[in-house]
Amino acid sequence: MMISQKLYEGVDLGEGRVGLITYMRTDSLNLSPIAVSRARKFINNNYGSQYLPEKPKFYKTKSKLSQEAHEAIRPTDPFRMPESIKNFLSPDEFKLYNLI
């Protein structure tokens, strides 16, 4: 949790602190329309339209106890590839960011 907290609060990428992930203490499946749009653009640009569903998929939680006040955990910018910022992260931060 300490590593994810640091990624959430921000890491200095040479141009100041940048939050790399959304709030991590959630089990929400919700994503903002902007995040979905940027993710779709990333998939199309990097992998091609054959890997992009015609329409985005949305999921609903089945748990009545889920904490959905925040978005699902995701990178704040899908275009910020883990390898491109590896030199600014500790090995554990890089592993976690790469996983997310």
pLDDT value of position 66: 56
**For the chain, domain boundaries:** 2-99
User: pLDDT tens, 81-94?
Assistant: 999 999 999 999 99
Mean per-residue pLDDT for 51-72? 75
Length of the chain as a residue count: 100
Grouping H, G, I as helix, E, B as strand and the rest as coil, residue 31 is: coil
Cα–Cα–Cα angle for 43, 47, 52, rounded to 5 degrees: 50
The structure tokens listed for 85 are 């910022």
Catalytic residues: 23
DSSP state of 49: G
User: pLDDT tens, 42-61?
Assistant: 999 999 999 999 998 777 76
pLDDT at 15 over 80: yes
For domain 2-99, the question of CATH label 1.10.290.10 is answered with: yes
Q: Are 6 and 48 in contact (CB under 8 A)?
A: no
| pTM > 0.85: yes or no | no
